[in-house]
Amino acid sequence: MIHTKEEIIAHMEDIIHSVPSHFYADILFDSMAVLTIKQSKSGTSSNVKPKMRGFVFRIFNGKKYFEISHPDIFRLKSQVKQILPKLDYFPDIQLIPSPKNEFDKEFSMKQDFTAIPIQEKINQINSLYKEIFTQDSQIRNVFINFQDSIQERIFLNTEGSRLRQVLPRLGIQLISVVKSNGKVDSNKMSVSGQGGWEIFNSLTQEQIQSFVKDSIEIAQADLPPSGVLPIICDPSVAGMLAHAIFGHGVQADTIVEDRSYWKRYFNLPVASDLVNISDSAQTGAYGNYYFDDEGILNKKTPLVENGILTHYLHSRITATMLDMPDALFGNGRRQNFLHPIYPRNSNTFIEPGDYTLEEMISEIQYGLLVENGDYGIEEFDGSVQCNSISGYLIENGELKKRVKGVAISGQARDLFLSIDAVSKGPIQFSGINSRKGLDEWVPVTYGGVYIKAHRSFVSPG
């Protein structure tokens, strides 16, 4: 059994060197260890998933990829040896070339969570639970969902690239259930990032107290008005809209298959000229990585520039099929070695503008500030729905009473074209993981800054 990275790389090189020179091929080693802890009134549960390790080999014959996955490198070697003589080569499609790259990077943790015993982690989460639960008698339950993980990936290909990255991630979600004045409702907040136990320790006493206070106010709040109103979206709601519409909607496999509503608007306005939306795995957020699962180094993808849809999110094959040689920014991702590669987003966000939040509020006579995004989805017809946990009614340029359960719906392009203000930074990120369809989970976040739209359909949600 192989153990060291040097042994793993040596066996991977053996496989790559066995490939005839006219084929393109690559091999990925994938290792993931995950700890989840859940705490609620019902008790504590923990689940340790030891390292799931395996390899996936791909070879492109000029028409399509062939893939072989196996947890055992020696079995994989044998299978590759059997398939190579059977493959015909077709010069039909030449993959867009990728530069040779070589590096080995491990993201450092200020506080290494692998050095903390699981029981100690459980104890600290239990202490957090008690701290929240005992702050107010109106709190009836608290759900804490915790996860830390370490992902290692090693990539080699026939173009000479040799890459390794080790990525620690930690995320925690808090959900409160409150009964106040006969009303029952819930609130949530999350903290996540790339790094170590310092992310858990970044939760401050002020944040916890604010979470409890907000939870009680939300339970007591009225529902929002319905109709077409001006709205301000906080970074979690604005980012959720950007993620649902442009993080998912412009994944280039849907463009190739003619399943994306946004194909018709490429290089055309999809938002007001104040709007810039980017995707980047180099932001410091939970969805970060150095290179994607095709060995492409990550760069920021400018999806929407001054309101114009300028780029898609690509894998290598989609960029080749759409003849976009300068569009590879490192978005070919797979859940693990047993899953296929798709073009995926990483950290999708709205870039800062020039307004302050106070200026935005002052310009609205009657509308809503929508905050704490809960769920968002874009449909194939270009419509969108985004639900948030809470918000505030705005009257005569001032924040008034809190409301709860705000839904934003309608045509996504109309909503983004009506944006007339984008706030200054800093950029704030939310989220932990995202799926494609019913499966294919990868780490992502979404976020940005405050945006103001002068026309949006809102309703209780």
pLDDT, tens digit, 9 for 90 and up, residues 30-83:
999 999 999 999 999 999 988 899 999 999 999 999 999 999 999 999 999 999
The answer, yes or no, to whether residue 360 has pLDDT greater than 70, is: yes
- Give CA angle at 224 (222, 227), nearest 5°: 155
Question: What secondary structure letter does DSSP report for 80?
Answer: H
Residue 438: predicted pLDDT: 77
Summarised one tens digit per residue, pLDDT across range 124-160 is: 999 999 999 999 999 999 999 999 999 999 999 999 9
The answer, yes or no, to whether residue 1 has pLDDT greater than 70, is: no
Dist. CA 75–CA 63, nearest whole Å: 26
Residue 49: predicted pLDDT: 85
Angle between helix 73-83 and helix 5-17 axes, rounded to 10 deg: 10
Residue 439: predicted pLDDT: 86
Above pLDDT 70, what percent of the chain?
Answer: 100
The answer, yes or no, to whether residue 362 has pLDDT greater than 70, is: yes
Token pair 């994938």 is found at: 30
What SS3 state is found at 283? Answer: coil
CA distances from 64 to 61, 199, 343 (A): 6, 42, 16
The answer, yes or no, to whether residue 320 has pLDDT greater than 70, is: yes
Rg of the chain in Å (alpha carbons):
24
Token pair 């192989």 is found at: 2
- What DSSP string runs through 115-167? GS-HHHHHHHHHHHHHHHHTS-TTEEEEEEEEEEEEEEEEEEETTS-EEEEEE
Residues 6 or more apart whose Cβ sits within 8 Å of residue 433: 441, 442, 443, 444
User: Taking residues 159-163, what's their average pLDDT?
Assistant: 98
Residue 85: predicted pLDDT: 96
Dist. CA 441–CA 365, nearest whole Å: 42
Sketch out the chain's domains with CATH numbers: 5-220 (3.30.2290.10), 227-460 (no CATH)
Range in 132-136, 174-178, 337-341, 450-454 the model is least confident about:
132-136
- 256 phi/psi in degrees, rounded to 5: -60, -40
